[in-house]
């Protein structure tokens, strides 16, 4: 089937097998490997991408279901050559160790901040509870997303004044 998916602002048209998972499509056809695979049961969340802005587990979406829709992956978080505040915050606050869960965690964090610019620690924990991390114990991931919220608020205040 011919499918056109807009990935990080660019249309990618390809002939795909109907059974092909979106995650495999992104990794092998579009060629962006920052989206990972960690389980067979929709449990780990390392495959998370934003589909029309909302986090989805791309191992549980078929590529054909993404036809005509837009996908944001970790490679698309940066804008205008600038890192997204969650990216900076994850590095500043040591929110990653092996980095395997990190792209997904940052995307979920970024999506959360779009909905809720000032989340509490509890709200952050709830938002990332579909994403596993085996290295960090989540403490610094929560801290990173908080720090990103504050950075965004400061930047917005700076832009207003």
Partner 1 sequence: MTAHTTTPPEIGGIGHSLKRVEDARLIEGQGNFLDDISLPGMLYMALVRSPVAHARINGIDIEAAMAVDGVLAVVTGELMAAHNLAWMPTLSGDTQAVLATDKVRYQGQEVAAVIATDPYIAADGAELVDVDYDVLPAVVTPQQSLDPDTVVIRDEKEGQTDNLAYEWECGDDAATAEAFARADRVVSIQTHYPRSHPAPLETCGIVADVNPVTGQATIYMTSQAPHAHRTLFAMVAGLPEQNIRIISPDIGGGFGNKVPIYPGYVVATAASLVIGKPVKWVETRTGNLISTGFGRDYHMSGELALTDEGRILGLRVDVLSDQGAFYSDAQPSRYRAGLFHVVTGSYDFPAAHITCRGAFTNKAPGGVAYRCSFRITEASYLIERLVQTAAYELGIDPADLRFRNFIQPEQFPYETPTGFVYDSGDYPTALRKALDAVGYEQLREEQAEARAQGRLIGIGIAHFTEAVGAGPAHTYDIAGLKMIDSAELRVHPTGKAILKLGVKTQGQGHETTFAQIVAEQLGIPAYDIKVEHGDTDHTPYGLGTYASRSTPVGGAATAVVARKLADKARHIAAHLLEAAVEDIEMAAGKLHVKGSPDQAVTIQDVALAAYTNLPEGMEYGLEDVTYYNPPNLTFPYGSYIVVVEVDPDTGVWKVERMVALDDCGVRINPMIVEGQIHGGLTEGFAMSSMQWITFDEDGNCIGSNFMDYLVPTAWETPRFELLETVVPSPHHPIGAKGVGESATVGSPAAYVNAVVDALAHLGVRNIDMPVLPDRVWEAIDSAAS
Q: Find where tokens 């990935």 sit.
A: 7
Residue closer to ligand FES by CB (options 132, 153) is 132
List, as own/partner pairs, every contact residues 118-125 make where C-beta atoms lie below 8 angstroms and the sequence separation is at least 24, other chains included: 118/149, 118/153, 119/145, 119/146, 119/149, 121/146
How far is Cα 146 from Cα 161, in angstroms, rounded to an integer?
A: 23
Q: Does 107 bind ligand FES (CB under 6 A)?
A: no
Q: Binding residue for ligand FES (CB under 6 A) from 54, 134, 154, 156? A: 134
> Concatenated DSSP letters for 51-72?
ETTEEEEGGGSBGGGGTT-EEE
Question: Should residue 35 be labelled a site residue for partner 1 when binding is judged by CB under 8 A?
Answer: yes
Q: Which stretch binds ligand FES (CB under 6 A): 43-51, 70-78, 80-88, 142-150?
A: 43-51
Residues of the shown chain interacting with partner 1 in the complex, contacts defined by CB under 8 A: 17, 19-20, 24, 27-28, 32-41, 43-44, 46, 73-75, 77-78, 83, 87, 90-92, 94, 96-103, 106, 124-126, 128-142
């Amino acid at each position: 089937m011919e499918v056109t998916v807009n990935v990080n602002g660019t249309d990618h048209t390809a002939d795909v097998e109907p059974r092909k998972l979106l995650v495999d499509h992104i990794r092998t056809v579009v060629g962006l490997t920052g989206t990972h695979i960690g389980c067979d049961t929709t449990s780990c969340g390392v495959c998370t991408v934003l589909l029309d802005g909302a986090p989805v587990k791309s191992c549980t979406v078929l590529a054909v279901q993404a036809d005509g829709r837009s996908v944001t992956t970790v490679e698309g978080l940066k804008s205008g050559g600038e890192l997204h505040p969650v990216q900076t915050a994850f590095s500043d606050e040591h929110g990653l160790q092996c980095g395997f869960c990190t792209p997904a965690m940052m995307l979920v964090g970024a999506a959360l901040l779009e909905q809720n610019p000032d989340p509490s620690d509890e709200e952050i924990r709830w938002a990332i509870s579909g994403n596993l991390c085996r290295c960090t114990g989540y403490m610094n991931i929560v801290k990173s997303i908080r720090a990103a919220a504050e950075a965004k608020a400061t930047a917005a205040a700076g832009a207003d004044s």
